Amino acid sequence: MPSGRPNLSLPEVRQNPYPLYAQLRREAPVCELEPAGWAISRYEDVAHVLKNPRVFSSEGLRFAVEPPWFGRSNPWTDSLVMKDPPHHARLRTLVSRAFGSSLVSRLEPSIRATCETITSRILERREVDFVQDFALPLPASVIGGLMGLDPSLQSRFKKWAEDIVALSVSRPEDTELLASARTTVEEMERYFNEVMDHRRREPGEDMVSDLLRARVDGEPLTNRELMGFLFFLLLAGLETTGNLLSTSTWILSREPELLARLRADRSLIPRFLEEVLRYEPPVQATLRLCTEDTTVGGVPLPKGAMMYVLLASALRDENHFPDAERFDLDRTEPENLAFGHGIHFCLGAQLARVEARLALETMLTRIGRLSLRAEQVEWLPGVTVRGLKALPLEVRS
């Protein structure tokens, strides 16, 4: 390791974190970070942490969206992803019903129709930013529709997501970034309060109305729990699917042989998406907090230690994935951690996979030419989430 502790939030690391991840796995698989926290980088250790919520608390995630210098509360900290048992089970039951396989099957026709509409739109324009013109509108339409949100606000949804994600790399001196994030949280709270007030007066067939009607042990959800759910549903629904779709398209724009292979055999699309999830996962890391003195990978960690559990590093662990740095469509290794593991496995994983599959099926059927209009792409700065800031493409039928 170079002198000093590694810093995951440096711009050069966020542009390409994988060389640092590989070095950590080789030389210091459990190590202290600058300015704070510990990195867990090997597959075996990451899986161990995720499987043991009693010792490794999800409360650690609060630091990513509500750092001490943020200066106000963030309702996302009241969502189920930051809860431990038994409170986690109480909240997860509500959402797991909503995201079951029946919902996904019911949504497939409308998702496919949305993909067709968006594809027609980008073919008319020919030169597009795929992130803004496809990867955002699709999940925004799906999750916005499920929640009954105003579709005219889709562009604002993306800014909200980017501001919250940027908190994971913020520092006390980042006054402009922090001010923008505080404004975003205030806007989201104001908007969701208006939505809930409207649904109380006029309930509908949407997730917000369902959550307002829900009872757990005979009691309704508190306003903080409701707000936490709405933050979580919107932001997670946008970021995971949007980043998976834009990254998948970026890879295809750079690999014409891979693109041709998928065109020739659409049944390979699910396998392709699984390899994208391994090779460039939308969720790069999660955070955990040690509830007691413990050890990980033979390294002692004190009670209260905050850990960056590097999912993206684990998914390129050469001891678990042969030739891990190569994108391999024929890879068969199981246990993809891209959507988490254990009690915090992503509830929207099936929906995200279906949205991405239907999008690629539509694009591969209707788009004949897909070429990148830039030598390099810029990645968003978050440590916990990885996605493209923009993807300039030329598309032709």
pLDDT tens, position by position, 93-135: 666 665 655 777 888 999 999 999 999 999 999 999 999 999 9
| pTM confidence score | 0.90
| Span 285-339, pLDDT tens digits | 999 999 999 999 999 999 999 999 999 999 999 999 999 999 999 988 666 788 8
88 pLDDT band (50/70/90 cuts)? low
**In the numeric block, which tokens belong to residue 288?**
């955990």
Q: Pairing relation of β-strands 306-309 and 38-40?
A: parallel
> How far is the CA of 352 from the CAs of 21, 99, 133, 226, 337, in angstroms?
26, 11, 18, 23, 15
CA angle 244, 247, 248 (to 5 degrees): 80
Rounded CA separation 24/309 (Å) = 12
282 pLDDT band (50/70/90 cuts)? very high
Rounded CA separation 138/132 (Å) = 10
Place of tokens 């003195």: 293
Instruction: Name residues whose C-beta falls within 8 Å of residue 261's C-beta, 6 or more positions apart in sequence.
Output: 268, 329
At 202, is the secondary structure helix, strand, or coil? coil
At 338, is the secondary structure helix, strand, or coil? coil
Residues recorded for the chain: 397
| Span 305-318, pLDDT tens digits | 999 999 999 999 99
Domains with residue ranges and CATH for the chain = 11-396 (1.10.630.10)
What is the reported pLDDT for 382?
Answer: 83
